[in-house]
Amino acid sequence: MSVNFVQNIDDWLPVRNALISVSDKQKLEVLVNGLVSLNDSVKIYSTGGTFARIGELLGPEAAARHLVAVSDYTGQPETQGGLVKTLDFKIYLGLLTETYNEAHQQDLQRTSAVAIDLVAVNLYPFAETVAKPDVTVELARANIDIGGPCMIRASAKNYLRVASVTNPSDYAAIIKKMKLSGGRLDLKSRFDLARKAFAHTAAYDSHIAEYLQAQSDAQMESCYTKKGA
């Protein structure tokens, strides 16, 4: 496998396209209203309950101008129960492309994709779910987030260009920095957010691994009716 090494990047970058899909919707108004106030042409791509909440925060007129459903962008409807929403080539192309890679830019044009500059994602509350006294292995399994960790990891890996935001407590500081810099974020900020993002997904995976290790085969099998041979 060839590894793509990068040399040329931009330090300060504007946020033109943001992808927001959060389980914890605290302080969402700080981020959304801040992004819109800083860039009247910003596009916010979102899914499910987050999409609905952002629509409420913006109001009909602003939502029509700034808010885009991920399913409309990708051309793929969400599967039943939201099982698959963001696992799409156009999404990850937008997260992983590099500014000065000509082939990447051609791929964006070929697919009519956009480069995503900021990702705000936090994950299904797995630790809180398994702390409930009536939790089953199946309930725990159903609350394992797949798309969220993938987006966090992809955006954090590409801190060269993308801000990966996983903690609502960071929203205000991010918007403040952007206000002081003409709507831009610097490389140092993106790198710091990447550190936090990988720590977030590492802790999340650790919770899952620890819970599954503590369950017996009998506890797991009791959740299901086996079909077939």
Taking residues 126-140, report their average pLDDT.
Answer: 91
Q: Residue 210's pLDDT is what?
A: 96
pLDDT band at 80 (very low <50, low <70, confident <90, very high): low
**Distance separating alpha carbons of residues 66 and 35, to the nearest angstrom:** 10
Instruction: State yes or no: pLDDT of 1 exceeds 80.
Output: no
Task: Name which of 33, 32, 191, 196 is nearest 122 in CA terms.
Answer: 196
Predicted local confidence at residue 189, as pLDDT: 98
Range of weakest confidence among 31-45, 81-95, 102-116, 174-188: 81-95
- Residue 61 or 142, more confident: 61
- Cα–Cα distance measured from residue 180 to residue 176, given in angstroms and rounded to the nearest whole number: 6
How much is the pLDDT for 44? 98
| C-alpha distance from residue 210 to each of 95, 127, 129, 196 (Å) | 30, 10, 14, 21
Structural domain 13-221, CATH architecture:
3-Layer(aba) Sandwich (3.40)
